[in-house]
Structure formats: C-alpha cells, structure tokens
Amino acid sequence: MKVLVLNGPNLGRLGRRQPEIYGHTTHGDLADLCRNWGEQLGLEVEVRQTNHEGELLDWLNAAADTETPVVLNAAAWTHYSYAIFDACAQLTTTLVEVHISDPSQRPEVFRHSSVVTPHATKVIAGQGIDGYRQALEFIAAEDDD
C-alpha cells in the first residue's frame, strides 16, 4: 500500500530550524527514516515537503482521488488554513496528523488549535521524529483490519 507523508512550510529546514524544539534530524534524514520504516511495515512511503500551500492542496486532492492514506504535518498551516481544512475533509481513507512538538504545550496561543484535527483519524504530537514512525505503524495496522 502506498502512503504519502506530507510536510508543510519550514519543515525542509529541519535540523537547522530551532533544533531545541524540532531536533537535529534533517528533512532528508526524516524522509529516509520514513521510507525505511514503511518498508519494514510493507508500505510504500513517499515523503514530500513544500513551502507552497497550493502544492500541498494539490497533493491532498490527489490523495483523495486515489484513496491514498496520508501522514500530514501541515506545520503553520495547521492553525489557520481553511483551504487545508477543506482538502482534508475530502479524504476518505486514513489521515494521521503529526506534529514533532506538542502544539498544545507551546507558549504561542495560536498553535493550540488545528484545522486538520476534525478530519484526522489519529493525532500524534510531541513525540519528535518518532511520531512519523508511530503514524506509519497506525496506518499499517489499519490496513491489517
């Protein structure tokens, strides 16, 4: 089964951007880890990152059309993008929302809400990079049911 791991703005800067919050793993390292975890779980994992909201919307729309499960870290768009909200609403298969940090524990109040959560099958937050592994395991388990 194919799974898309979609990452939003600034996540391409992992390892350099606020490592005290997001850690030292680069986005390239994360992509390699996700593909390896997926292979171990029998999943074909494709990892993408964009700083362009329309591109993420196109990927979510295509996932809806092909009924492809999605692991989504919409990053800052999580907190305000109604376009992301609408795109997630179209998904008919598993959507796992992932955040490296726990937005609900962050000092910025705007981070405490998510437009993705109402459509997510599961939310994994505050588990660091390992949250992506947990998301893939969840999808693999859902497929076994």
* Catalytic sites, residue numbers: 22, 99
Residue with tokens 């993420």: 56
Residue 27 near residue 11, CB atoms below 8 Å: yes
Q: Is 79 marked as binding a ligand?
A: yes
Q: Is 29 marked as binding a ligand?
A: no
Name, in order, each residue with C-beta under 8 angstroms of 126's C-beta and a sequence gap of 6 or more. 99, 100, 101, 102, 105
Q: How far apart are CA 43 and CA 17, in angstroms?
A: 29
Q: Is 84 marked as binding a ligand?
A: no
Burial class (CB in 10 A: 0-12, 13-18, 19+), 63: buried
Q: Is 16 marked as binding a ligand?
A: no
Q: Is 86 marked as binding a ligand?
A: yes
Residue 76 near residue 99, CB atoms below 8 Å: no
Which positions make up the binding site?
73, 79, 86, 100-101, 111
Which positions make up the binding site for substrate?
73, 79, 86, 100-101, 111
